[in-house]
Chain A
């Protein structure tokens, strides 16, 4: 363990000597076989070793950036594997998990919600459970709490926070849900229906 920190100077020195020899031999070989190269390198201020080092730096930077960018993905997704066709199936049937799925608040607490969710959430719940491979997270317990955590992580968010889309959740609504049950104000006619035609110079309304 300590050798990982302090190293072993004797071994290192002897290895370095061997590798330095190899490095020098290769460099000499190159310059002997191609004497014109030296002129070219001097004329264009090219350092062959630096090209390689620069490349390594770029690769390292890219790896660090990639790791940094993958953090939200890794946090948001539990470790589970899916076959490609299963993943496709799931994407076809994907919907926003409701609050019951997320385990935040029961939809039955909100009047008029229960009926709307009863048909969709139960069938969908089954579908998703069938599609998902049993993972270390889910196997064993199989409790609703575990499942709801898993669903909550599907969209890269904490299971405590419902996914926000189009601001519906700010209003306590889900997508496609109308809490006022058909009494919501109409958004009005489409601009095309109003006869606005910009292509004719804008004089006509």
Chain B
């Protein structure tokens, strides 16, 4: 596991979408990293919306030092028990937008 919310945000579908473009392995993973980065910022946006402003600093410092720590998710749940669903929903929404744009490029 790389970050604490990885189990909520899957990239498998986008991975297989990209695979249909017959790109080189390097190109494929460059694009996949871009998607991952976009989702990462979206998820952080939701997380910081849930957290009160005075906790932002604490959270970001903790996240920087221990990105995979599941205690971070527990910490967020103490502010919003629905945070898991919110993260999932945001990621899915963003993924749907990306998929739609990817369709515009001819395979």
Q: Which residues of A contact B (CB under 8 A)?
A: 3-8, 11-12, 14-16, 18-23, 25-27, 29-30, 33-34, 36-37, 40-41, 44, 46, 48-49, 51-56, 58-59
Contact = CB atoms under 8 A, between A and B. Distances in A.
The range of chain B's interface size is 35 or more
B61 to A, nearest CB: 6
B45 A16 contact: no
A19 B39 CA distance: 11
Contact of A3 (B22, B34, B97): B22
Given A34-B45, A37-B48, A56-B2, A6 B24 contact: yes
Contacts of B97: 22
A40 B60 contact: yes
Interface in B54-107: 56-57, 60-61, 63-64, 67-68, 94, 97-98, 101-102, 104-106
Nearest to B44: A30
B43 to A, nearest CB: 9
Contact of B41 (A14, A29, A55): A29
Nearest to A45: B64
Given A12-B27, A26-B38, A46 B60 contact: yes
B104 A22 contact: no
A18 B2 contact: no
Interface string B37-55: 1111110110011000100
A55 B67 contact: yes
A26 B34 CA distance: 11
A22 B49 CA distance: 20
A58 B66 CA distance: 12
A40 B59 CA distance: 10
B107 to A, nearest CB: 8
B8 interface: no
A6 B28 CA distance: 12
A36 B44 contact: no
Contacts of A6: 24
Given A15-B102, A30-B44, A37-B56, 20 more contacts: A7-B26, A8-B23, A12-B30, A12-B31, A15-B21, A18-B98, A18-B101, A20-B34, A26-B38, A29-B45, A30-B41, A33-B49, A37-B48, A40-B56, A40-B61, A55-B2, A55-B3, A55-B68, A58-B68, A59-B1
B21 to A, nearest CB: 5
Nearest to A32: B45
Contacts of B98: 18-19, 22
27 contacts: A3-B24, A4-B25, A6-B24, A11-B106, A12-B24, A12-B27, A12-B30, A12-B31, A14-B105, A15-B105, A18-B101, A18-B102, A22-B97, A23-B37, A23-B38, A23-B41, A29-B41, A33-B45, A34-B45, A36-B56, A37-B48, A37-B60, A40-B61, A44-B60, A46-B61, A48-B40, A55-B67
